[in-house]
Amino acid sequence: MALRSDSGQAIGKREEISARPHVPVLLEEVLEWLQIKPDGIYLDATLGAGGHSAAIAARLSGGKGRLISLDRDARALQIAQERLGEFGSLVSFVHSPFSKIAEAVHGLGIARVDGVLADLGVSSMQLDRPERGFSFRDAGPLDMRMSSGDAEEDTLTADEIVNRWSEKEVADLLYQEAEEHDSRRIARAIVKARPIRDTAHLATVVAGVRKQWGRQRLHPATKTFLALRIAVNREMEELGQFLFRAPATLNSGGRWVMLTYHSREDRPVKRAFQEGEKAGTLRVLTKHVIVPRPEEQAANPRSRSAKLRCAEKV
């Protein structure tokens, strides 16, 4: 539904949708592979709307079990705190990017945890709010910062890239971060159309020049928006730091579950698991990735590209 400035009813509907609990991806599989112990300590490195955290917390014992939930988005953290309020002190909320997993755990006086989950997908709360600038379905500012701009280092926005970077820099970004084969054609069109006003304008520009390859399930601007989001939030740098630090936070026998949504992030996860197995610190439990069942894909289209990998600390 489009957001309309002339109708309070439409705006209210959008806010209602954004505030509604969202369906966590591969929830049953996540719980199965984490092998949650009621008295264990677990960490949800990407809290988001709190769906996975709520399900994990519900399986913990109030006396001994504990859950640590991280998010770099202060707004998401606040909303999730309200939703998970019923669990009281069983859940500890930490405003932090997941790259600082070790600091988050040690800052709570905890040496190691029994399980770590990281869902690398963008929260539905962010996608469904045009003012965050993540979606091409509504007109919103060219922002895309997951942190809501509340961190001093988070100064880069999609607007800076789209309206100020050179044509070559934009083309290289689209190709390197999202494997967009029409990167040069799109970059040329973006520079020619400057100034790009908002997300809807950008999506229209991209859709107008991108070639259609066979049957198209995705919007033509999907990869462009993906590349911008990755660059603005330094996602690959954050992921690399997280993959390096996460194993040290796990107890022996602890489970590490990762949910990825595109090859750019799945490859380093797969590589980190394989390298850990070669080094004798991890045992890869999912020799083949776990994907959502057809029923889940039909009920939640955003889950279609999800892949689950799990490893165990040895």
116 and 249 share one domain: yes
Tokens, residue 61: 């014992």
244 and 110 share one domain: yes
Q: Please give the Cα distance from 135 to 158 (Å, whole number).
A: 12
Q: Is 9 helix (H, G, I), strand (E, B) or coil?
A: helix
The torsion angles phi and psi of 107, rounded to 5 degrees, stand at -65, -20
195 and 261 share one domain: no
CB of 227 within 8 A of CB of 144?
Answer: no
Residue ranges for the chain with pLDDT beneath 70: 1-22, 123-134, 136, 148-154, 213-217
Provide the CATH number for the domain around residue 224: 1.10.150.170
Contacts of 139 (CB under 8 A, 6+ apart): 3, 130, 198, 199, 200, 201
Write the Ramachandran bin of 35: left for phi over 0, alpha for psi from -120 to 50, otherwise beta. left
Q: Please give the Cα distance from 34 to 36 (Å, whole number).
A: 5
Boundary residue ending a domain (179, 200, 232): 232
284 and 160 share one domain: no
Is residue 150 in some structural domain? Answer: no
CB of 188 within 8 A of CB of 167?
Answer: yes
Residue at 279: amino acid letter: A
CB of 49 within 8 A of CB of 125?
Answer: yes
CB of 225 within 8 A of CB of 180?
Answer: no
Global confidence as pTM: 0.85
What percent of the chain clears pLDDT 90, i.e. is strictly above it? 72
Structural domain span for residue 14? 10-125+236-313
102 and 246 share one domain: yes
CB of 194 within 8 A of CB of 166?
Answer: no
Greatest extent of the chain over all pairs of C-alpha atoms, in Å: 62
Is residue 102 in some structural domain? Answer: yes
210 and 244 share one domain: no
Upstream peptide bond of 130 is cis (omega within 30 degrees of 0): no
Tokens, residue 240: 């690399």
Q: Is 66 helix (H, G, I), strand (E, B) or coil?
A: strand
164 and 296 share one domain: no
25 and 74 share one domain: yes
Number of domains in the chain: 2
CB-hemisphere CA count at 13 Å for 72?
23
Beta strands in the chain (DSSP E): 41-44, 66-71, 91-95, 113-119, 250-260, 282-284, 307-313
End-to-end CA gap in the chain: 49
82 and 18 share one domain: yes
The torsion angles phi and psi of 144, rounded to 5 degrees, stand at 75, 15
Provide the CATH number for the domain around residue 270: 3.40.50.150
96 and 17 share one domain: yes
171 burial (CB, 10 Å; 0-12 / 13-18 / 19+) is buried
Is residue 16 in some structural domain? Answer: yes
CB of 100 within 8 A of CB of 88?
Answer: no
Q: Please give the Cα distance from 76 to 158 (Å, whole number).
A: 20
Position 215 scores a pLDDT of: 59
120 and 253 share one domain: yes
Position 15 scores a pLDDT of: 37
Tokens, residue 198: 């908002």
Strands 282-284 and 307-313: antiparallel
Per-residue pLDDT tens over the stretch 27-43: 999 999 999 999 999 99
Position 96 scores a pLDDT of: 94
21 and 56 share one domain: yes
Position 129 scores a pLDDT of: 61
